[in-house]
Amino acid sequence: MTAELDKTRIPQHIAIIMDGNGRWAMDRGLDRTFGHKAGLDNLENVTTLCSNLGVKYLTVYAFSIENFDRPAYEVEALMGLVLSFIKMDLFHNNNVSFHVVGDRDRLPKSVQDKLRSMEEETAMYDGMAMTIAMSYSSKQELVNATKLIARKVQNGEMSADDINEETIRQHLWTSWMPDPDLLIRTGGEVRISNYLLWQCAYSEFYFCDTYWPDFNEEALHKAIESYQSRQRRFGKTEAQVEEEVKVKK
């Protein structure tokens, strides 16, 4: 076990790019789809860990719009896994609500229905909000928001001059959640792959080589420790931020 975490500075919102499933499976001589199965199993573990730590929002990247360009058998296998994944006890036992962000219309109808029923069945839980980004593209999310706003301007509901950052935020699929404090990417790549581009403007980034199915409690603690060792300045100077902390205490 790693050092104790500072319980007063647990990130409110953790976003994760769950990468490395395919390589995890291939290292074991298995088909890539076994990696996705192991990855979904691990999502259950990490959801429980985050909920126990007091994280309020966990938003995980499970499938990008670009991922539809993978071989059809892999896409089909993934959709099938989503249908069978995550026992509902995970939500019932941990007071966790389930949500989806992404372009749902591109998903098979059976997957859309399953995700919708999971959302409805867990809507009353007010512990942690667990969101899965499925058929997600941050650029598409921004295009969608732009269209919604343009229509309002066209209908005379608002004027173009009134558009500000808050207007855009309110029209994103993620409008109901705060921005991520910590973004974790597993699997060794150091890129954002079209994930939460607007929302991560001031998130702390943490990249690790561990493949997603192996990302366990110790790995999660390391990521949070790294987060806790940083000073978030939001454009201000180090001295200004230190002063603000003193005044709060």
User: Where in the sequence numbering do the catalytic residues fall?
Assistant: 19, 67
The smaller minimum CB distance to Mg ion, of residues 45 and 193, is found at 193
User: Minimum Å distance from CB 19 to Mg ion?
Assistant: 4
- Closest contact distance (angstroms) between CB of 25 and ligand IPE is 8
Of the candidates 1, 118, 115, the residue with the CA atom closest to the CA atom of residue 49: 1
Closer Cβ to ligand IPE, 10 or 220, answer by number: 220
Q: Choose the one of Mg ion, ligand IPE, none that binds residue 106, judging by a C-beta under 5 to 8 angstroms depending on kind.
A: none
Most distant CA atoms of the chain, gap in Å: 60
Q: Which residues bind ligand IPE (CB under 6 A)?
A: 17-23, 61-64, 67, 78, 187, 189, 191, 193
- DSSP three-state, residue 245: helix
Q: Kindly state the smallest distance separating residue 69's Cβ from Mg ion, in Å.
A: 13
Nearer to ligand IPE, 63 or 91 (CB): 63
Say how far apart CA 124 and CA 65 lie, in whole Å: 29
Measured in residues, the chain has a length of: 249
Comparing CB distances to Mg ion, the nearer of 19 and 204 is: 19
Residues that bind Mg ion (CB under 5 A): 19
Q: Which does 102 bind (CB under 5 to 8 A by kind): ligand IPE, Mg ion, none?
A: none
4 token code pair:
């104790």
In the chain, which ranges are continuous DSSP H helix?
A: 21-27, 32-53, 72-84, 89-94, 109-122, 138-154, 165-170, 217-228, 238-248
